[in-house]
């Protein structure tokens, strides 16, 4: 059995009493105390997450924008320096290999952030697709600590720790934008991105080795906790359990649940990322552009009772015929009722449609609703 990878911050999590879980090839904190309290803290104040299991791949060179526009489904050549873009890497048949965020820091310098379980696959695919382009690829996935502070009070905690001449820039940083500067006297990439449906920041702390990453990451991690305490701002340690319930309320897909190689973006709730027309070639183009006539689509479901639908449960119409499958589901801590994402037949996907979810042999009523289930006040 292959030994699981651990975060450079693993020693900190052990000291803090985290409960761990396997997530892809990684052993990461599931929760620290109570996942519901962690969830509510992010909605009401702020939460601190270790995301060091995510990948970091640099794409540099004269053809960097052109190459990424071929390797991914989106056009990266118009992306402005300091901005980020959500996209996907697909197979020739349109199946989703991964969804990822890519940041542009110079005209010829991009940072690609794949999901934890797919980082090695994305690295291999990028190398295969780079053969005819003037680019260099560098995989730093094992030597970067990634920390997220998420919630309505995230800026109150982070901005005072940023070097003085960068504080206004970070405070005013737009959504899906990024800059570089020092946080707690440590060099960091600072991005206004997240996976919770709240305002917040993600910090990338590069290092020359995993050991150095641990030292730098621990310094920033502990400084943020101390600074929040001194400022009287609640900053709660959060694990993957609360991150999952937060992203579900926000209607955000999870690779392995909503996204996989067996389904293309139009059938997975992310068809918006497929260009309506993109003249330049990209891997998967013939299977995706103008091919949104899929038989199944992703919808939101709201439960009428208290029993939650879970991944893999069958979705039925009112007559009991199977019409789809739940991809993610849970009780919503914020909304107080069960919610779910499900892939269902297009003819039962209209908002307001009454469906059932087979909960251990009993049809539980659910209704098709719009997503996201939760949208923060701005």
31 and 154 belong to one structural domain? yes
Asked if residue 107 lies in contact with residue 167, where contact means CB atoms within 8 angstroms, the answer is no
185 and 334 belong to one structural domain? no
pLDDT of residue 96: 98
Residue 218 backbone phi and psi in degrees, to 5: -60, -40
Asked if residue 1 lies in contact with residue 196, where contact means CB atoms within 8 angstroms, the answer is no
pLDDT at residue 179 is higher than 60: yes
pLDDT at residue 101 is higher than 90: yes
What percentage of the chain reaches a pLDDT higher than 70? 99
pLDDT at residue 289 is higher than 70: yes
**Degrees, nearest 5: CA angle 325-327-331:** 110
| C-alpha distance across the termini of the chain, in Å | 47
128 and 148 belong to one structural domain? no
Range of the domain at 130: 57-139
Which CATH number goes with the domain that contains 280?
2.40.30.110
pLDDT of residue 1: 57
Neighbours of 153 (CB within 10 A): 22
Neighbours of 206 (CB within 10 A): 17
Q: In this predicted model, what pLDDT tens digit does every residue of 116-174 receive, in sequence order? A: 999 999 999 999 999 999 999 999 999 999 999 999 999 999 999 999 999 999 999 99
201 and 171 belong to one structural domain? yes
165 and 152 belong to one structural domain? yes
The residue behind tokens 């600074």 is 227
47 and 193 belong to one structural domain? yes
pLDDT at residue 278 is higher than 70: no
50 and 158 belong to one structural domain? yes
pLDDT at residue 280 is higher than 80: no
Gap between the Cα atoms of 206 and 194, Å rounded: 19
pLDDT of residue 2: 80
The two tokens of residue 305 are: 């009772």
Q: What is the CA radius of gyration of the chain?
A: 21
Q: In this predicted model, what pLDDT tens digit does every residue of 28-79 receive, in sequence order? A: 999 999 999 999 999 999 999 999 999 999 999 999 999 999 999 999 999 9
Q: In this predicted model, what pLDDT tens digit does every residue of 207-237 receive, in sequence order? A: 999 999 999 999 999 999 999 999 999 999 9
pLDDT of residue 359: 96
174 and 131 belong to one structural domain? no
The answer as to whether 375 is a domain residue is no
pTM more than 0.95: yes
């Amino acid at each position: 059995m292959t030994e699981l990878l651990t975060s450079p911050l693993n020693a900190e999590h052990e000291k803090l009493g985290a409960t761990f879980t396997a997530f892809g090839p990684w052993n990461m904190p599931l929760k620290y105390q109570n996942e519901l309290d962690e969830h509510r803290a992010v909605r009401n104040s702020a939460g601190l997450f270790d995301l060091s299991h995510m990948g970091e791949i640099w794409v540099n060179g004269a053809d960097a924008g052109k190459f990424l526009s071929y390797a991914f489904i989106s056009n990266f050549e118009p992306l402005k320096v300091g901005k980020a873009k959500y996209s996907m890497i697909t197979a020739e048949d349109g199946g989703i290999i991964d969804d990822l965020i890519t940041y542009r820091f110079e005209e010829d310098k991009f940072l690609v952030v794949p999901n934890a379980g797919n980082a090695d696959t994305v690295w291999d695919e990028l190398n295969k697709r780079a053969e005819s382009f003037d680019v260099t690829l560098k995989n730093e996935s094992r030597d970067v600590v990634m920390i997220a502070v998420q919630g309505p009070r995230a800026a109150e905690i982070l901005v005072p720790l940023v070097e003085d001449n960068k504080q206004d820039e970070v405070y005013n940083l737009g959504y899906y934008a990024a800059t570089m500067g020092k946080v707690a006297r440590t060099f960091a990439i600072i991005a206004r991105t997240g996976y919770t449906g709240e305002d917040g920041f993600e910090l990338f702390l590069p290092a020359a080795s995993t050991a150095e990453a641990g030292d730098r990451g621990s310094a920033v991690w502990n400084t943020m906790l101390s600074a929040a305490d001194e400022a009287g701002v609640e900053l709660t340690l959060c694990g993957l359990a609360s991150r999952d319930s937060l992203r579900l309320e926000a209607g955000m897909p999870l690779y392995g649940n909503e996204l996989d190689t067996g389904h293309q973006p139009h059938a997975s709730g992310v068809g918006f990322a497929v260009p309506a027309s993109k003249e330049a070639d990209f891997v998967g183009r013939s299977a995706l552009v103008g091919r949104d006539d899929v038989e199944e689509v992703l919808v939101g479901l709201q439960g009428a009772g208290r029993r939650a639908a879970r991944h893999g449960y069958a979705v039925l119409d009112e007559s009991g015929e199977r019409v789809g499958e739940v991809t993610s589901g849970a009780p919503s801590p914020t909304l107080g009722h069960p919610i779910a994402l499900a892939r269902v037949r297009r003819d039962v996907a209209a908002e307001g449609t009454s469906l059932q979810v087979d909960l251990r042999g009993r049809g539980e009523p659910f209704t098709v609703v719009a997503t996201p289930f939760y949208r923060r006040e701005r």
